[in-house]
Structure 1
Amino acid sequence: MHLPFDLRSKASTDNYITRPGEGFQQEVQQAYDQTNFRDTECQMIKINEDQKVIAHITMAVENYDALKYAQRQEEDKNDGEEAPPSVVEEAHWKLGAPLRRISTQDWETLEAGNPAFRQFESKLTTFLNKILAADDRPSQLLLLHPYQCIYLQYRSLKNWQENRDILRCNPNFYSNPCYDCVVINTQPISFGHIYALFSCQGPLKINHYIALIGKFQATKWKLKTKWDGCRVFEEKEYDFVLLKYLIRGCHMIPAFEKSGKVFDLNDLVDGDTFIRFFLEE
């Protein structure tokens, strides 16, 4: 007697399909076959719950495997250069996109138009002499191993979960220069522009991993429209920093009036930046 109602509700039967119903019947039959054929309803509900949990776990494992595979593919990318060797990894950072080894003199000559590389060799030698033991200080021309990407792992102050930033320093990243900004673990914290990532060895053959950065310093120049918590910086000088002191990436917004020389800090990128840069200022 329900046929007239069904026709009025769903139109003629050529719009119907029996596949969903038949598929459900197969699942029910399989669950029923696993029971002891007494009080089957409770047993079938439990079997269905177990199947849902198994499906959820399987999906989570498959998604995790897919994510790890995508991460490995990303780490293996080298921005158009030859296939790189395995990335270098430490406690909270990982280097990717390695390039061919180059001497300090050749790199300084190659980047002659970049102010960050002025007196690159002499400044690097001075930096290494300050941080290294006397028997590991360079006594001859240094050979550097450059990289164009760093992965920084950090714990968010918002929810205490592990997050990761991918930062690049590539003069030709998809036909455009890409020099990301980073937070440096100083007291108080400071900010910098990453212009180079590289490793080098002294006489003791110990690898030292270093970043060449443009240091952001507070400036007296003020924005025309200033808001609460506004922090304005100017990139005035360049220095070297060990990679172990890098915390996470940050977003610096260029001030339109100053042609890219002055930046204001964006502390609204995510919850961690708001807490780390604004509330704890």
Structure 2
Amino acid sequence: MPRWHGLNHFDEALSVSYTDGQKFEDLSKVVVFACHDTLLPAEKEGYLLLRSFELHTTHMLAAGQEALATFNTLMQKFSEKTENTKKNWNFPKNHMRAHAFDDIEAKGVTRNFSTKPNEKMHGPLKEKYQRHTNFKNVADQILDIDHLELVLEFIHCRITNYDTYISNEEIIGDDDTEQEDFFHVKLGSKTKHPLTLEAVEQRSITDKAFIRFRAKLNEFLNRYFTVVGKPLPGGKPVWFPPNAEITEYKYIKVNFKSVVDWCQYTDHLWCNPNFHGCSRYDCVLIKTQQQDIFG
């Protein structure tokens, strides 16, 4: 099962006591990995899982509509064969799927008309009602309080941004030296003892990715300086001897801008043989000059 940051992890699903909609959503993400080897490409029912996605394409919607039609046909046959049970299948949760993909086309992805976001507002609404109203005609009073909170938050953000700007000015000063900007990447989980490049190659001798690792590292760094248009260190090509030592990091935190909604998100990536008792090797998508690399 994936161990993504911020994802509820389940040892089992059927006997779990669910307390909120977030656990249902996380379970729907995990179940895809649990059943990916049972849903064959020819079995269109698996496409019903698409309706919970946060981004849809025309192809995905068409596949979902096709899966829904197949499901409705099978559901009709099942209800006919179980007429003796007198089960009435005409109830809201069973009917809402009939319009699921039409609603997505009309209103956007399901998160836009989900009731789950309002669950997080129960606490603040209750607090405003109890502390800031006279318990009569409370709607207008709560809206006024929301407006004041928004104004306060706006002022606070402006002050924070100004303080950040001033502090950066003091740090930079009049220094015009060009600096590399790595603010969106942070390394962690540093190993205690450095390793030589030769030891790294010997340790991973069965891994094709580490064949000629030292030579490929030298080639990459030399090519990097050429691509970015910067002079080589000391004016000479980079060349690491076999006994050159490196320090390994098993964790990286990356802040990035999503191409879906243009907001900033954070990824926590691990490459650790013993992460809470289990091995964890996350995958990354790297954009290079020639092509995108998935590994």
Range class of TM-score, shorter chain: 0.3 to 0.5
TM-score, structure 1 length as denominator?
0.36
Bigger-Rg structure (1/2): 1
TM-score, structure 2 length as denominator?
0.34
Q: Which has the higher strand share?
A: 1
